[in-house]
Amino acid sequence: MGFVATEEEVSFYRENGFVEIDNVISQDELEELRMALEEVMAKPPAQSVQTSESKDLYYRVLNQRVNTWRDHGIMAKYALHERFAKLARQLTGASGIRLFHDHALLKMPGDSKPTPWHQDLPYWPMDVPEGPVWSGPLSIWLALDDVDERNGCMMFVPTSHTIGKLTGISLVEPQDIFDYAKGSEAAERKPVIVRMKAGSCTFHNGLTFHYAHSNTTDKPRRVLAVIYMPDGTIYTGVRHVVTDDKGLVAGQPFAGGLFPKLA
C-alpha cells in the first residue's frame, strides 16, 4: 500500500507538479468511503456546503460538496487521515501539513462537461510560505471509481507549476489558460492523461495546470479531493466559502480546529 511515497514519486512530483500513487486505500476502506459519500450527498448539507445545484451550469461540470468531513464521521476519517497528510508532507517537504478543505467531486452522467484547464491556487485565500514551488499547497484526488477518458479522469501539464500564479478560470465559461501562459515552455508540454483504478490517487500542486474529461458513462464518477497547505500558510482575507466568517485574521497563519494540523 502506498502509505509512504517512494523517492521516485517524490522527485516526480517536485519536477512535474503532480504524481500518481496507487492503492492508497484498501478494498474495505474503499467500500466504507463510497458508502459514506453516498450518505453525505443524499442529505441536505448541515456544516458542509453544496456549491452546485442540479439546475446550475456548474453542476454539469461538478456536483460538489465542500467540507463533507463536517457532516459525516466517516468522511472525516478520510479527509483528516494522517496517511494522506503524511504523503502530502513528504511531497512538499513541509514541517507540518494543515487541512484547507475536502470536497466530494462527482461528475454526473448526462450532459456532463469537462472540468476546464485551470490552476487551483488563484481561488484560495492563501499567501504561501517562501520556498521552492513544489513546497506549496496541494490536493489529493482520490478516485472512488476506476477513471479514464470516458468518465472524467484527469490530465496534467508536466512542469506547469513552474509558470507562476495566473488568473482564476471560470469553470462554466472558461477562458483559455494557455493564452495567459504564452511564451512559457512549460505550457507547451504535452498533457499527461492519468487513468487510475479506484483506490488510487494523484497529488497535484496548486499551480499545476489540470483538466478532467466529461463523463460519458451512465454512472457518476466519484472522487474525494482534499486540499492541504503547509503549516505557516497565511490567510489573505480574500473571500472564500470555506473561510468567510470563520474568525480568521487576514495576514495571520491559518490555525484552529477548522484548519487542523494533520501531519
CA-nearest of 227, 225, 229, 245 to 237 is 245
Nearer to ligand AKG (CB atom), residue 107 or residue 247: 107
Helices (H), 57-180: 57-61, 73-79, 82-92, 177-180
State which of residues 105, 126, 144, 155 lies at the interface with ligand AKG (CB under 6 A).
105
Tell me if 64 sits within 8 A of 108, measured CB to CB.
no
C-alpha cell at 181: 501562459
Q: Which of 115, 200, 214, 243 binds ligand AKG (CB under 6 A)?
A: 115
CA 184, distance to chain mean position in Å, is 24
To ligand AKG, the closest distance from the beta carbon of 257 in angstroms equals 24
Shortest Å distance, C-beta 114 to ligand AKG: 8
- Closer to ligand AKG by Cβ: residue 105 or 263: 105
Which of 195/255 has CB closer to ligand AKG?
Answer: 195
Instruction: Please name the residues in contact with 196: beta carbons below 8 A apart, sequence gap of 6 or more.
Output: 20, 22, 143, 146, 147, 153, 202
Q: What would the x/- binding string for ligand AKG be over residues 40 to 79, using CB under 6 A? A: ----------------------x-----------------
Q: Which of residues 218-237 bind ligand AKG (CB under 6 A)?
A: 223, 225
Q: How far is the CB of 250 from ligand AKG (least distance, A)?
A: 24
Rounded least distance, CB 225 to ligand AKG, Å: 4
Amino acid, res. 117: W
Q: Which C-beta is closer to ligand AKG: that of 36 or that of 212?
A: 212
DSSP 3-state of 97: strand
Count of residues engaged in binding ligand AKG, rule: CB under 6 A: 12
Tell which positions 120-159 bind ligand AKG, by CB under 6 A: 120, 139, 141, 152
Residues 6+ apart with CB under 8 A from 136: 92, 121, 128, 205, 206, 207, 230
Distance of CA 108 to the CA centre of its chain: 18
Grouping H, G, I as helix, E, B as strand and the rest as coil, residue 68 is: helix
* Residue 180, CA atoms < 13 Å, CB-side half-sphere: 16
Shortest Cβ contact with ligand AKG: which residue? 212
Give me the 5-44 binding string for ligand AKG, x by CB under 6 A, dash otherwise. ----------------------------------------
Which residues of the shown chain bind ligand AKG in the complex (CB under 6 A)?
Answer: 62, 105, 107, 115, 120, 139, 141, 152, 210, 212, 223, 225
